[in-house]
Amino acid sequence: MEFLLIPIVILFVLAVFLFTINPYAAAISILLVSVVNAWFIEPPSVLIGIHIYLYDLVFVPLFLSALFRAIVKGEWRYISVLWAIYGLIIFYGLAPGLKLYGTYAGVDFRAFFCYWTGTLYFMTFSYSKEMLDKVYKHWLIICSLLLLIVYFRFVADFLHMPIAQTWIAADATGVRFRVTDSGQAYLLSAALIMLFQRHVTTGVAQPSRILTVAFLVAVIVLQHRSVWVATMSAIATMFLLPGIKTHKIIGKLAIIGVVGMVLLVPLVLYGYADHFIESITGSAERATHLETGTFGSRLKYWERIMIYWHKLSFFDQLFGEPWGSGYAGSPRSPHNMFFYSLLRAGSFGTFIYLLLYLALLKNLFFKILINKKDRLYYSLFFMLIVAQIVFYIPYSPLPQHGIILGIAASLATRPIASNNGVAKQNSQYFLKTPLSEKHHVASA
């Protein structure tokens, strides 16, 4: 194993260097890991005392790159003070957690570390329209790979192919055609929101309606009801945002619906759609029963968490319990970001966290009002942040969420600048060595 040490160190240093000057490399790496994890169902790992996952190989160098950009390049001026305070609180609970609970504290901390680090990293860049368009294109391309995996599994599940047992066994809910987890469904949902927003915006290239319908059908058939609500909430905000005409939203929804119906007609005529429709209808019916089923059990769990939290010491109520201490006496996650934060960052940390999101929405909304020429980008990230907040009601943050939150936070505090100016600002120096002008343009 020793002979692997040198190439691993070299690759690690190269990753830190690449991430420091190029946000696309980081975004692509994070999204590709999500797709690889979706393909393998159980995320691949290497056991070296503890399990090392693909996300670890991305976010550890990303953390160092974020610190370098913040401290050495002076980007700390653009990092949200609220996010920095929240980070101090969650990191504070790691040391006692490791002392009390060993490696389990690190396992508990891992996903949140990735989420916080990713957000911090993407905050340290200034973005131009060209950069934002590239992020949009990378997201769609990589999520299209995920979409192919999803449709392959739909077909395999429908035809009862033996390979389908792989993901059926991994899903504890037993819902048919739920072939990926909620985090991967969220990625498809974000892509759908990006596509639909461009459909209703004038003056931009219109994306393929068939591709939009393909994402829409996938999000529906996957039957993650919380993802449905998050998607609908984001699209519903369009009716409140300035610059988007209501009749255009309704018209585009109707057109996409008609295209979807046309594509589904052959399946319906030959009876192949019956299994899909029955499964989706069943999921929708279960979603309306708030006292029973998955949502009902979560409500009871949240009540237990509040009772448990009231019994904690004043300090733990304020700043949270150490990582690895469980969740109100249970090893199971609360399935709610805000209760999750209450247990790990306390009431003070959760207040800071909520304040960050409220301030972010407020700043983005005023940017939408004031900057008409850049309204497309501010509106998109406003919608994506709304979807993220709604998603956090039944779920906790995931590593890829930091891409959206970090870029949105940067847009809320800095203007969208020209391409050349942003390239120079983002990648002018690494280890105090000037990069060529040619590289400035390429890295943007």
Residue with tokens 């957000």: 119
> What torsion do the CA atoms of 38, 116, 137, 246 make, to the nearest 10 degrees?
100
Rounded to whole angstroms, what are the CA distances from 13 to 19, 26, 34, 62, 72?
A: 10, 14, 23, 11, 17
Q: Do residues 114 and 59 make contact, with C-beta atoms less than 8 angstroms apart?
A: yes
How many domains does the chain contain in total? 1
Phi, psi of 398 (to 5 degrees): -120, 160
> What torsion do the CA atoms of 167, 169, 172, 174 make, to the nearest 10 degrees?
80
> What torsion do the CA atoms of 279, 283, 285, 291 make, to the nearest 10 degrees?
150
Q: How far apart are CA 386 and CA 393, in angstroms?
A: 11
pLDDT at position 291: 60
Any residues with CB less than 8 A from the CB of 82 and at least 6 apart, and which?
Answer: 352, 353, 355, 356, 359
pLDDT at position 432: 38
State the amino acid at position 21 in one-letter form: I
Q: In this structure, what token pair is assigned to residue 261?
A: 């119906």
Q: Do residues 236 and 293 make contact, with C-beta atoms less than 8 angstroms apart?
A: no
Residue with tokens 């490696």: 103
Q: Are strands 45-48 and 429-430 parallel, antiparallel or unpaired?
A: unpaired
- Size (the chain), residues: 444
pTM for the full predicted model: 0.86
Q: In this structure, what token pair is assigned to residue 168?
A: 């059926």
pLDDT at position 270: 47
Any residues with CB less than 8 A from the CB of 208 and at least 6 apart, and which?
Answer: none
Q: Where are the alpha helices (DSSP H) in 46-161?
A: 54-71, 81-92, 94-101, 103-123, 129-158
Q: How far apart are CA 441 and CA 227, in angstroms?
A: 37
Any residues with CB less than 8 A from the CB of 433 and at least 6 apart, and which?
Answer: none
pLDDT at position 349: 96
State the amino acid at position 216 in one-letter form: L
Number of other CB atoms surrounding residue 143 within 10 Å: 25
Q: How far apart are CA 184 and CA 219, in angstroms?
A: 10
| Averaged pLDDT, groups of 10, the chain, 444 residues long | 68 91 94 94 81 90 96 92 96 94 90 96 95 94 96 90 87 82 94 90 80 91 89 89 68 63 55 54 55 71 91 94 89 87 95 97 93 90 96 92 97 82 48 37 36
Question: Domain range spanning residue 40?
Answer: 2-443
Q: Do residues 394 and 28 make contact, with C-beta atoms less than 8 angstroms apart?
A: no
**How many Cα atoms occupy the beta-carbon half-sphere of 236 within 13 Å?**
9
Any residues with CB less than 8 A from the CB of 259 and at least 6 apart, and which?
Answer: 209, 210, 213
